[in-house]
Amino acid sequence: MTHPLALVIEDDPKLAAIFAQALRTAEFETEVVSRGDAALERLNTVQPAVIVLDLHLPKVSGRDILHQICTAPHLSNTRVIIATADPLMAEALDDETDLVLIKPISFVQLRDLAARLRPPDTMMD
């Protein structure tokens, strides 16, 4: 039995660790990417159920990544939680994504929200 994958794209390692922990607590397999370009590359190969995306990233902006997710066919079922420190940005992206959380993000809150988005476990082998 394999847990669904949750990809955390966050350049701040502390926050990335907290987000990953919250998602694990919500019974996700977690993977953390800290750079935008790396994230885009990784998204070509994986099909996460949930992505926690920081908009403020080095190299490639969070918006570009969001655009990639929305247009990639294999990511059509992927749910995206935006994590941003900019409330104005949050309002702007509210319609484009499933969930926008403004930093500071509560560990409990993220865990509970992610749990709601969690698809059923898939049977492997």
Partner 1 sequence: MHRRLHHQLKKINLNQTTPPAPEEWQKLLEYISQTYTDTDQDRDRLERSLNISSYEMQELYDNLQQSSQKHITDLTSANEKLLQEIVERERVEVALQEARDELELRVERRTAELKTANEQLATLYKIGQTITVPLSLEQVLGILTRNAADLLGTETSAILLLDEANQTLTIKGAYGLSKKIIKHTRLQIGESISGRVVQHGKPIIANDLPDNPFFYNPAAKHEGLLAFISVPLIFGDKIIGTLDVHSKQERQAFTQEHIELLNLLANQAAIAIENARLYNELQTARDELELRVQQRTAEITVSNEQLVQVVAELKQADEALRRQRAFLRQVIDINPHFIFAKDRLGRFTLANEAFAKAYRTTVENLIGKTDADFNPNQEMVENYNRNDMWVIETGQELIISEEKIVNVVGEEHWRYSVKRPIADEDGIVQQVLGIVTDITDRKRAEEALRESEERFRHVVTSISDHIYMTEITKAGQRINHYLSPTTPLTGYPLEIFLNDWSFWPEKVIYPDDRATAEAQMDCFLQGESNETEYRMIRSDGEIIWIRDSGRVEKDPDSGSLFIYGIVSDITARKQAEERLRKSEAKNRALLDAIPDVMFQLDREGTFLDFKSNKDNDFYVSPNEFLGKNLDEIFPPQLAQAFKTCIEQAEQSGHMQTYEYQMLVAGSNTPRNFEARLVLSGENEAVTIVRDITKRKEAEQMLIEARDQALAASRLKTELLAKVSHELRTPLGAILGYTEMLEYGIYGPLTDEQHTPTSEIIDSTKYLTNLVNELLDQAQLEAGKLKLNIGDFNPVKIVETTISTMQGLAKRKDLTLTANIATDIPNPISGDSARIQQILTNLAGNAIKFTHQGSVQVRLYQPDTTHWALQVCDTGPGIPSEDQARIFEPFGQVDGSMTRQHEGTGLGLSIVTQLVRLMNGEITLESELEEGSTFTVLLPLQQTQEKAA
By the criterion CB under 8 A, which residues form the site for partner 1? 12, 14-15, 18-19, 21-22, 25, 56, 85-88, 91, 94, 102-108
Cβ proximity of 100 and 54 under 8 Å: no
Cβ nearer to partner 1, comparing 112 with 121: 112
Q: How far is the CB of 47 from partner 1 (least distance, A)?
A: 27
Q: How far is the CB of 74 from partner 1 (least distance, A)?
A: 30
Cβ nearer to partner 1, comparing 7 with 19: 19
Give the CA diameter of the chain.
46
Q: How far is the CB of 77 from partner 1 (least distance, A)?
A: 27
Cβ proximity of 39 and 61 under 8 Å: no
Cβ nearer to partner 1, comparing 79 with 111: 111
